Structure formats: C-alpha cells, structure tokens
C-alpha cells in the first residue's frame, strides 16, 4: 500500500541564532574570536537595536571552551539580548593584563558589526563566570568603558586569597602582581563603578563564597549599586546557574539598568 498526505504544520518562530567564530583580532599569529548568540526575527523592525551582554568565559584563565555556554546563553538571547562571548589569550601564552587588552580589542571591534547584529551600543553589559567574572569585573573597574552593569558568577575577585602555585599564579608575571590584579584595589567612593550583580554558591569548593561576600561589603561601603544573591547549597557552576529563577534574576538586573 502506498499513501500520500498533505498536511499543514504551523510555523514556529525560531527564538535565537548562533553565529560562530567572528574574528575580532589576530595577535601573535592566532585569530581571536567572538561567538554570538542573538535573538532571531524573521523580519526585523526598522531601527530595532537590542542591549548587548559581553560574556567572558571562565577557564581558570587557561584556554577557553567557547562552545560550552551556547545553550545557557540562549536563554538570555530569547529574552532580547545580543550575547557576545569573547575569546582571550590564555595565561599559558600571555600574562595579565593581556586578557583585559583582548577584551578591550573586542569592545573596539563591536561597532563594525553592531548594525548587522542589531546591537545597541549605548546599552552594553559585561558578564562572566569564575575566572571570566574576575576579568569582567577588572575590565569594568579599570578600562573606563561605559558599561551599564556587571554580572559576576562566583568570581575570584581577590587574587591575594588564592594560591601562588595555582592558576592565579600562572596568570601573573609574579605573585607581587596579585594585588594589582584584584578588584578591591579599585573600589573606593571616588572610583566609578557600574551597577554590579554578584551571584555565588554557599558550597563553592573552587572559589570560596567569602570572595563575593567580601566584594559585596566593599561595594556597599563605597556607596556603589550592588545586588548580591547566594544560592544555598550550590557549588561552582553547573546547570542550576542557568535555570529559570536565576535567568530571571539576571534578566531583571539587566532590564533595570538599560538606558
């Protein structure tokens, strides 16, 4: 028996689009790339521009696995943000502050693709997890770029509290540089700091929760806008960090500070 059917399948609007391997600079003979996860529209309204979230991947400052965050970051893309993951030089190739310089180069590159990907460069946020959150915070604190806010997932913000023979030691030219590469040095009442959202798990075995607790107190005492969220019983990373409640908290923070 043979059969032929003609059926109607309702169209389902695609919610996000992945754009891999956008080269923003070539340094020491190696292409450094962006991964974009953007809201998808079959037809874009004229003039529509969306807020941008620059994401700095965590990797203990070593080589980043750029594809790990696609699904997680798509959750924010679905809510209307252009997500830009930045690849930076790993500590085995270049010492701090080379990583900050790479992020600055990526930021300088954004205007060349802003129209193509519907970016609102007046509403740029920076985000990171673990070592990436350290770099995100340091970029916001030291470069003068006009970020609307910073989102930090379990950042090792104070390198002086880490081990010299660990990944932080490998990031630095010498351990005497640890204070210079730590956030607390730049948090004063006079120093400009964009609004900050800190998130940390109480059972983090890699970056002690006291790192974010202390950073929260410093920002609070300096009169800065800061929100701190602890996840009871949570460790370092994992799927919980991008479940609906956490994604909603991040979304609410971003919306609160969009210009």
Over residues 224-252, the pLDDT tens digits come to: 999 999 999 999 988 788 899 999 999 99
Instruction: With cut-offs at 50, 70 and 90, classify the pLDDT of residue 6.
Output: confident
Question: Above pLDDT 90, what percent of the chain?
Answer: 86
CA nearest 61: which of 170, 155, 204, 178? 170
Q: What is the CATH code of the structural domain delimited by 24-257?
A: 3.40.50.1820
Residue 68 is predicted with a pLDDT of 87
Maximum C-alpha span of the chain: 81
| pLDDT tens digits, one per residue of 156-165 | 999 999 999 9
- Is 131:156 a contact under the CB 8 Å cutoff? yes
- Is 37:74 a contact under the CB 8 Å cutoff? yes
Mean pLDDT of 167-172: 98
Question: Above pLDDT 70, what percent of the chain?
Answer: 95
Residue 41 is predicted with a pLDDT of 82
Residue 9 is predicted with a pLDDT of 61
Residue 178 token pair? 């640890």
| CA neighbours closer than 13 Å in the CB half-sphere of residue 145 | 26
Residue 17 reports pLDDT greater than 70: yes
Q: Is 223 helix (H, G, I), strand (E, B) or coil?
A: coil
Residue 12 is predicted with a pLDDT of 56
d(CA 72, CA 9): 28
pTM score over 0.75:
yes
| pLDDT tens digits, one per residue of 105-139 | 999 999 999 999 999 999 999 999 999 999 999 99
Residue 14 is predicted with a pLDDT of 60
- Is 16:74 a contact under the CB 8 Å cutoff? yes
Q: Bridge-partner residues for 124, per DSSP? A: 52
């Amino acid at each position: 028996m043979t059969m032929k059917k003609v059926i109607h399948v309702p169209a389902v609007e695609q919610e996000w689009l992945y754009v891999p391997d956008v080269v923003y600079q070539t340094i020491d003979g190696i292409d450094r790339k962006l991964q974009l996860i953007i809201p998808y529209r079959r037809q874009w309204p004229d003039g529509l521009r969306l807020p941008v979230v620059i994401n700095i991947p965590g990797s203990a400052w070593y080589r980043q696995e750029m594809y790990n965050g696609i699904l997680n970051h798509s959750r924010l893309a679905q809510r209307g943000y252009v997500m830009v993951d930045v690849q930076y030089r790993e500590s085995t190739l270049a010492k701090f502050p080379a990583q900050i310089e790479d992020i600055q180069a990526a930021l300088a590159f954004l205007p060349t693709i802003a129209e193509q990907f519907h970016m609102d460069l007046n509403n740029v946020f920076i985000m990171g997890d673990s070592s990436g959150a350290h770099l995100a915070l340091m970029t916001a604190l030291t470069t003068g770029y006009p970020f609307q806010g910073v989102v930090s997932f379990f950042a090792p913000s104070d390198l002086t509290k880490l081990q010299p023979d660990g990944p932080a030691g490998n990031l630095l030219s010498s351990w005497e540089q640890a204070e210079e590469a730590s956030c607390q040095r730049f948090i004063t009442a006079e120093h400009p700091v964009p609004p900050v959202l800190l998130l940390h798990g109480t059972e983090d075995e890699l970056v002690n929760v006291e790192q974010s607790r202390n950073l929260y107190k410093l920002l609070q005492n300096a009169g800065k806008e800061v929100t701190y969220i602890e996840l009871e019983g949570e460790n370092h990373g994992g799927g919980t960090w991008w479940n609906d409640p956490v994604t909603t908290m991040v979304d609410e923070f971003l919306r609160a500070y969009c210009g």
